[in-house]
Structure 1
Amino acid sequence: MRRLIALLLALLAAVPALAQEAPRLRVALAPGAPETVYAAPADGCTPDDVPDAPVRAFRDAGGGVTLFGLHYDNRALKGPDFAHLKIDCHVVYASHGDADPAAYDDRSWIAATWTADGRTVSALIHHEYQANEHPGRCRFPAYMQCWFNTVLEARSTDGGADFARPPAVVASAPFRQDHDQGRHRGFFNPSNIVADGRYEYFMASTTGWSGNAGVAGLAPERGLAPGTGADQQAGVCLFRSATPADPRSWRAWDGRGFTVAYADPYRGAPHPAPCAVVAPFPAPVGSIVRVEPGGLWLAAFQAKADAGAFPLSGFYYATSPDLLHWSAPRLLLAGPTLYDDACRAGGPLVSYPVVLDPASPSRNFDRTGRAPDLYYDVLETEGCTVTGRRSLVRRRLTIEGPR
């Protein structure tokens, strides 16, 4: 996940026009310097305990806070509240570097959590199969050319202390990792999970594929001829479930309804139908929260400067009444991000913006008042290299607008 850079920017060219102008909120940084929540390597159990993902938090059954957002040997920050979080050195979900892509046990990050009671916890997993690290698994030498991503789901029954294996596939490209190599492929970086009525939702990014590529990647014995699939546009798709603890229940929006179900390409015939991408997001959505009072949704994400909707690199936000129709993006914090060239940044990068309200009435922090915090990572660089000197910081926000 630390190398989410150049090819993700191809998503910028694929974002469609806004379906309508959604009502706006005005979000701004409150005065003051960032407060450090966690600093690597000083605060870690090992040198690899670096901030490397958007933070996700829930309240456990006893009212304490569990927060994820570190590296692929997943450990949690825990405490009675957000002011007293400390790392727990127990690995709750390890990555074993398994060379078998069907095992889904190469590199995994806990990317979202959801719990109704603080005891049984479902986690969405950002899984990377890094075929360049496994001899004979990729025709190319570079990470980005061999990178195959899948969104998985794992479950804990002990309040997030351990997540069981094997995980289940929630979203996958309809072909196996050895197909269409030469570019980053699959679904990746799910947002947090949010509730709206009887459903839960999340967003996930995809680099897309052609219908020919998808069907050609299926096993020949399935009898599908090239050309019978549908093109998947690159962008961000919205998923919905009434039972998020069941990984088979998630369905993606197809433009008319939540009908698209994905399967494991190593164990069943995948569904090649495309999901409909949601504007204005050029790359993964860091977080979604419902702002109260008022009820509008607020999404935070990062973008690289372009000649269009993103005049400066940095963190942006958009608002929506229904999770499908979003306002044009507005700049929240300018600065070079992981999507920028570290060689030219001339200093630290920022990444993984998340709006999180410690006073939220929600066990899963998917609702916020008008003065939440912005959590994000600050990554030190040396020349063209992003180092392990990273900090998770927070800054207070103010939110104004329709109530």
Structure 2
Amino acid sequence: MSIDCRRRIALGALILGLMAGGAEAASLPQIDLVLGGTPDVVFDMNRQSCNPPDVMPDVNPRAFRDSRGMIVFFALHSVNRTLRGPDLSHLKLDCHVVLDSGNDPDPAHYNDRNFITATWTEDGRNVAALVHHEYHADDFGRCRVNDALGCWYNTILAYHSTDGGADFIRSTPFVIAAAPFTQDVGQGRHRGFFNPSNIFSDGRYEYFFAATTGWEGQPFGACLFRSATPLDSASWRAYDGHAFSIRYVDPYRQSADAVKPCAQIAPFTSPVGAVVRARQYGLWIAVFEAQHNEDMFPVDGIYYATARDLLHWSLPKLLRAGPTISSDLCTMNNAVSYPSILADDSTGRNFDNFGSDAFLYFVVIATEHCRPGARLLMRQRLQVLPEGLRP
């Protein structure tokens, strides 16, 4: 069966899941997310630079408050640096590298390209991190196809910091989510788990979403992970459709034949950019990119969905129309990607909730000759309003 055919079948399953969950969705408070004003530049890679392209915005923005109350902000590249400041409006680039990438040709070392994509801390000093790891076999002559995406193998790894995010080191166990095969298997398409969302909490457990392109027996989509102790990397479990039971292993060191498929959570057909709780309404809000299709997404753009229990989400609504990094780069001047929601009035240290106002963060990517170019990290004011009160 072709990959496209499998994707159509999986998308159909997602839509059926949404239809089956219609009662839950109908019971949700009806709200609209509304963007206001004009976007502001948070970070310009051409003006605020340590060593381009090390500071090119290339992940969804994340933040936490350290033990001194200062904000530690992540949104950059595989040579991981932070922006720091007293609040979200006064962040400055810190050129210290908190986690580097080794460009290691051995895939079993998981040290090719590392991107810090989520953090969690209780005390502002001890910080758990999820790292989106990319192995590019074509860079090392280890790929059988002449296609960069077809040589791309992704894994989600665990790191931690004991100094408030100044430096990150490997956790044990190291691998949190991996395909049940090594990078040389299935070359010809993008494989593995990638682009975890932020880590967010319901007060009892912490969660994140991770995207997967799928494999035989595993549909593509977004899977939900849960832990009661994020600093213990062994504690993360993925949802199998009935319970949080799946613990992934390192396929270079253990047999992964018995790993069950994780459940795809509708309506997410692409990585979940961020999940935050709107305190006023008691709702979870997820933002994500989507490409146009005739079923759920009328145009390319940034969408959102709402939920009470993280498993049953509403139908998606359009937040910002426009081309994304997954659109045809040859037909546009700029793309928008990597959405996230952050707010100064977030309670706790981890920016996983907000009151009445927040900001949508996103990256504007200039395109030149069908390729991505210079990038700006932007933010735009975001309000939650009862449905029908949109200006």
TM-score bucket (shorter structure): over 0.9
Task: Tell me how far 1:401 sits from its aligned partner.
Answer: 3.3
Q: Which runs of 5+ in 1 are unaligned?
A: 1-6, 211-230
**1:11 and 1:235 in contact (8 A); partners too:** no
**1:203 and 1:239 in contact (8 A); partners too:** yes
Alignment partner, residue 288 of structure 2: 301
Task: Tell me how far 1:288 sits from its aligned partner.
Answer: 0.1
Q: Is 1:321 aligned with 2:308?
A: yes
Please give the alpha-carbon distance, in whole angstroms, between the structure 2 residues aligned to 1:84 and 1:288: 23
**1:150 and 1:171 in contact (8 A); partners too:** yes
Please give the alpha-carbon distance, in whole angstroms, between the structure 1 residues aligned to 2:7 and 2:60: 19
Task: Tell me how far 1:142 sits from its aligned partner.
Answer: 1.6
**1:206 and 1:235 in contact (8 A); partners too:** yes
Please give the alpha-carbon distance, in whole angstroms, between the structure 2 residues aligned to 1:370 and 1:354: 16
Alignment partner, residue 252 of structure 1: 238
Q: Which moved more, 1:18-27 or 1:354-363?
A: 18-27
Please give the alpha-carbon distance, in whole angstroms, between the structure 2 residues aligned to 1:314 and 1:148: 26
Q: Give the residue type in structure 2 aligned to 1:14.
A: A
Please give the alpha-carbon distance, in whole angstroms, between the structure 1 residues aligned to 2:130 and 2:32: 30
Task: Tell me how far 1:11 sits from its aligned partner.
Answer: 5.3
Alignment partner, residue 384 of structure 2: 399
Task: Tell me how far 1:187 sits from its aligned partner.
Answer: 0.4
Please give the alpha-carbon distance, in whole angstroms, between the structure 1 residues aligned to 2:77 and 2:277: 28
- In 2 relative to 1, CA 11–90 (structure 1 residues): closer, same or farther, beyond 3 Å? farther
Deviations 1:67-112 (A, max 9, x none): 0010100000001111110110011000010001011000110010
Q: Is 1:180 aligned with 2:189?
A: no
> Which SS does the other structure have where 2:97 is aligned?
coil
Alignment partner, residue 226 of structure 2: 240
Task: Tell me how far 1:294 sits from its aligned partner.
Answer: 2.3
**1:52 and 1:71 in contact (8 A); partners too:** yes
Q: Is 1:265 aligned with 2:278?
A: no
Q: Give the residue type in structure 2 aligned to 1:306.
A: N
Indicate which of 48, 51, 54 corresponds to 2:57.
51
- Structure with the bigger percentage of strand: 2
Q: Which moved more, 1:160-169 or 1:184-193?
A: 160-169
Task: Tell me how far 1:371 sits from its aligned partner.
Answer: 0.9
> Which SS does the other structure have where 1:359 is aligned?
coil
- In 2 relative to 1, CA 152–386 (structure 1 residues): closer, same or farther, beyond 3 Å? same
> Which SS does the other structure have where 1:145 is aligned?
helix
> Which SS does the other structure have where 2:255 is aligned?
coil
- In 2 relative to 1, CA 278–338 (structure 1 residues): closer, same or farther, beyond 3 Å? same
Q: Give the residue type in structure 1 aligned to 2:105.
A: A
Indicate which of 3, 10, 14 corresponds to 2:10.
14
**1:131 and 1:138 in contact (8 A); partners too:** yes
Indicate which of 161, 166, 182 corresponds to 1:156.
161
Please give the alpha-carbon distance, in whole angstroms, between the structure 1 residues aligned to 2:296 and 2:270: 13
Alignment partner, residue 26 of structure 1: 32
Superposition TM-score, scaled by structure 2 size: 0.92
Indicate which of 325, 344, 348 corresponds to 2:334.
348
Alignment partner, residue 37 of structure 1: 42
- In 2 relative to 1, CA 10–26 (structure 1 residues): closer, same or farther, beyond 3 Å? farther
Alignment partner, residue 140 of structure 1: 145
Superposition TM-score, scaled by structure 1 size: 0.90
**1:9 and 1:282 in contact (8 A); partners too:** no
Alignment partner, residue 133 of structure 2: 127
Task: Tell me how far 1:381 sits from its aligned partner.
Answer: 1.1
Please give the alpha-carbon distance, in whole angstroms, between the structure 2 residues aligned to 1:86 and 1:332: 28
Indicate which of 385, 391, 398 corresponds to 2:371.
385
Q: Which runs of 5+ in 2 are unaligned?
A: none
Deviations 1:312-342 (A, max 9, x none): 1110000001000000000000010001011
Alignment partner, residue 66 of structure 2: 60
Task: Tell me how far 1:173 sits from its aligned partner.
Answer: 0.4
- In 2 relative to 1, CA 11–333 (structure 1 residues): closer, same or farther, beyond 3 Å? farther
Q: Is 1:171 aligned with 2:192?
A: no
Q: Is 1:85 aligned with 2:91?
A: yes
Q: Give the residue type in structure 1 aligned to 2:384.
A: I
Q: Is 1:208 aligned with 2:214?
A: yes
**1:37 and 1:391 in contact (8 A); partners too:** yes
Please give the alpha-carbon distance, in whole angstroms, between the structure 2 residues aligned to 1:321 and 1:163: 33
**2:158 and 2:171 in contact (8 A); partners too:** no
Task: Tell me how far 1:141 sits from its aligned partner.
Answer: 2.1
% identity of equivalent residues: 52
Q: Give the residue type in structure 1 aligned to 2:46.
A: P
Alignment partner, residue 223 of structure 1: none
Task: Tell me how far 1:46 sits from its aligned partner.
Answer: 1.0
**2:193 and 2:210 in contact (8 A); partners too:** yes
**1:11 and 1:283 in contact (8 A); partners too:** no
**2:160 and 2:169 in contact (8 A); partners too:** yes
Q: Which moved more, 1:166-175 or 1:35-44?
A: 166-175
Query: Equivalences for 1:275-286 in 2 at 5 Å?
Result: 275-286=262-273
> Which SS does the other structure have where 1:89 is aligned?
strand
- In 2 relative to 1, CA 208–195 (structure 1 residues): closer, same or farther, beyond 3 Å? same
> Which SS does the other structure have where 2:331 is aligned?
helix
Alignment partner, residue 219 of structure 1: none
